[in-house]
Every structure is written in structure tokens, then in C-alpha cells.
Amino acid sequence: MRLALKTAFLASAGLLVYAQAGYPLVLAGLARARRPRPEPSPLAEPLGVSLVVAAHNEEAVVAEKVRNALALDHPRERLEIVVCSDGSTDGTAQAAREAGADVVLELPRGGKIRAQDAGVARSRGEVVAFSDANAAWEPDALAELLAPFADPEVGYVCGQVRFVNTAHPPGTNQEGLYWRYEMWIRELESRLASVTAGNGAIYATRREAYLEVDPIMGHDLSFPFNMVKRGWRAAYAPRARATEKMVPSILGEFARKRRMMSHTWPIVLRGGLIDPRRYGALYCAMIFSHRVLRYLTPFLHLAALGANLALVVLGAGPVYVVALALQLALLVAAGAASAVPLRPLLVARYYVLTTASLAAGLWDWLREGTAAAWEPAEGTR
């Protein structure tokens, strides 16, 4: 009995440590040991780009988004701005037209993915770029996003998103800290093989590489691994920068991540992510380490805690008492963050709640399915 419990505890705790810290350190070691990937020759001339923005009731921000796109360092005649109004009931479409969008589609409500599909079908650029209506790109972001396409093997490129916290007092949501960690891992993955996920704020695909996916399965997770399965490389361009407002409260962030995970679990369990066919060995290990283990984190925590409790009750030794104390300290720190908003406690609360959101999203999907339509997270506009 003790041996089985010790095995369960050590396995679950070991996988947790590997997923959160060991994996990026392994990537960093491999990246240092491996010869850098040769830089492709610069593009001979600017690519024709269609920037597609799916928008539902984004009257408050869509005009600024169009103006931001028009200010990008890219020849105007080689840039097409396509705004896809997904069943908007406000002035989204009119605001986009008045701001200078080249194409404005007024579509019935079908969800973000189907709006993007319609935008791609109507667009004409060699490369199709995508952005959220509330994301602001730096002037050189498009040029940096396009640079990796000089390599004919690259079919998908995502840029770097930075989340701006405008809440008062600041720091209640630690999403910015998480994304700095995530972007570091993504850069290492791109240097070694391909990224395992992207983001909705700034990314692009070659037109011939674009995929029409199930409308409940977002591009952020479904595009990179599907590109790899089809022989493309999915790259990360860290100097292609965009900013978005983050959700101001941690409970709002929990709700946002819970909704996102209800779209993620279908990709994991029936969308082909965990099917290793047509992955190389390294990319298969990346998918397991960065995606599968990350999504299993709440269940690994429960297994570690349960086995640890049983071992302490059985008097297995002081090391298990210390391990249990550390696990309980994390929960206590998370609970104390509301009363004592110190940075370490806020980080603990962020970790606990966002980990719980992974399981909550699975529960939502299994219980009631996932709708294709979406609503903007509160406070991000």
C-alpha cells in the first residue's frame, strides 16, 4: 500500500515539477547545444497581406483597430484590412468603414472562427494575418511577423502579445507574469522545431496553409500542431509585438480561462492534438510536455495531494509531512491574497485559480458542450 502511494505521489509531483520548470530548462539546454537555425534571406519584396479582424459588438474599439492597422510599416497597396462583423447589433460595421477598412463583412452570428473563415474567403493577400479588435500592434509588428515567411517551410507565425494591466490597484491579475514565462518557452520551441500554441492577438498564415477548423476549436491551439502534421513549420516572431488590456480582476481571468478551456479540451481529446502521427520525435515530446501535462495539472495536483495525505496518515516519514505542508501553504497563500495583496500571495492565487480553470473548462464542455459564439471578457475593451 505504501509503495503504491509513494509511487503515485512521486510520479504526480515529478510530472508537475517537470511541466512547470523542468521542461523549459530542458528546452534551454537543447537550444544552447544545438547550432542556431540559419536565417533565411530577406524577402525580395513586401508580401501582399490581408489583415482579418473578427468583431462582435466592437463599436468602441474597432475604429482604433483599423487606424492602428493603417499605421503599420507596410506598403498600403500591399495591405488589405478586412473586418468581419459577427452578428453585431451595434455600430461595429459602420465604424470600421468610416475608419478606412477595405472590406467590411456583415455576417450572421456564427462565432469567431466562421467569421475568420469568411474573411479569408473574401481576402486576396498571399499571407492572411489575424488580430483581435482590441489588440494594438507596434508599427513594425507586421514586418517582423512576415520575416519568417522568407523560409518556404514556414506556414504559420505568431507574434508576442503583452498584457497591460489598467486595474486600480494594479497587480491583482498576474497574467502578464505568466505570459512572459510562456513567451520564453515559445521562443525556445520555435528555435528547436515549432511552437505548440499561438495567440489571437497577432498571428499569420500563408494562404495555402490556412485551415478551416471546427468552429468551437480556436486557431490559437489548433493551427500550430496541424501545420506541423501537414509539413509546415509553426514559428514565433518575438519582435512582432502587440498589446491587449488584461482582465482587471483575477476572478474575471478565471472565468476567461475557464471559457477558453471549454474550447481547448475538444482539440485535445478529439481534435488530433494527442495523435502523434506525423509529428517528429522532438515535437511529439513538446506537445506532451507543454500541452498535455499542462492541461493535466489540476489532476496531478489532486493525485499528489491525495497520496501525500494518505502517506502522512500512515506515518511514512517526515519528508511527506514537509511535502504536505508545502502544498497546504500554496492553498493558504492563495486564500490570503485578497486580505494581504502581496505579490507572492497574488502569484499563488493566480496559479491556483488558473489551474482550477483547466478542470472547470473540462467540466463545462462535458456537461453542456461549447458554443461557437463568444463575448469579450469584461474590462478588456
Going from N- to C-terminal start, the domains of the chain cover: 49-248
Q: Grid coordinates in use for 245?
A: 488590456
**Number of alpha carbons in the 13 Å side-chain half-sphere of residue 159:** 29
Strands (E), the chain: 49-55, 79-86, 103-107, 127-131, 136-137, 154-164, 203-206, 233-245
Give me the residue label for grid cell 530577406: 42
Number of H helices, E strands in the chain: 14, 8
d(CA 58, CA 64): 10
d(CA 261, CA 122): 30
Give the pLDDT score at 169. 58
Residue 276: exposure state from Cβ atoms within 10 A (0-12, 13-18, ≥19): middle
All residue ranges of the chain with pLDDT < 70 are: 166-172, 375, 377-381
Three-state secondary structure string covering 124-193: CCCEEEEECCCCEECCCHHHHHHHHHHCCCEEEEEEEEEEECCCCCCCCCCHHHHHHHHHHHHHHHHHHC
Give the pLDDT score at 378. 62
Please check whether residue 220 is in contact with residue 197, taking contact to mean a CB–CB distance below 8 angstroms. Answer: yes
Name the DSSP class of 89.
S
Give me the residue label for grid cell 468581419: 84
**Which candidate, 92, 69, 84, places its Cα nearest to that of 122?**
84
Is this model's pTM higher than 0.75 or not? yes
Residue 261: exposure state from Cβ atoms within 10 A (0-12, 13-18, ≥19): buried
Give me the residue label for grid cell 498584457: 163
Please check whether residue 60 is in contact with residue 381, taking contact to mean a CB–CB distance below 8 angstroms. Answer: yes
Question: How many C-beta atoms lie closer than 10 Å to residue 328's C-beta?
Answer: 13
Summarised one tens digit per residue, pLDDT across range 330-359 is 999 999 998 888 889 999 999 999 999 999
Question: How many C-beta atoms lie closer than 10 Å to residue 335's C-beta?
Answer: 13
d(CA 112, CA 115): 5
Name the DSSP class of 290.
I
Q: Grid coordinates in use for 252?
A: 474575471
**Which candidate, 158, 176, 156, 157, places its Cα nearest to that of 166?**
176
Q: Which CATH superfamily is domain 49-248 in?
A: Spore Coat Polysaccharide Biosynthesis Protein SpsA; Chain A (3.90.550.10)
Give the pLDDT score at 282. 97
Give the pLDDT score at 220. 95
Give me the residue label for grid cell 492534438: 273
Residue count of the chain, please give it: 381
d(CA 213, CA 359): 24
d(CA 262, CA 370): 6
43 Rama sector, left if φ>0, alpha if ψ -120 to 50, beta otherwise: beta
d(CA 82, CA 66): 9
Q: Grid coordinates in use for 180?
A: 512572459
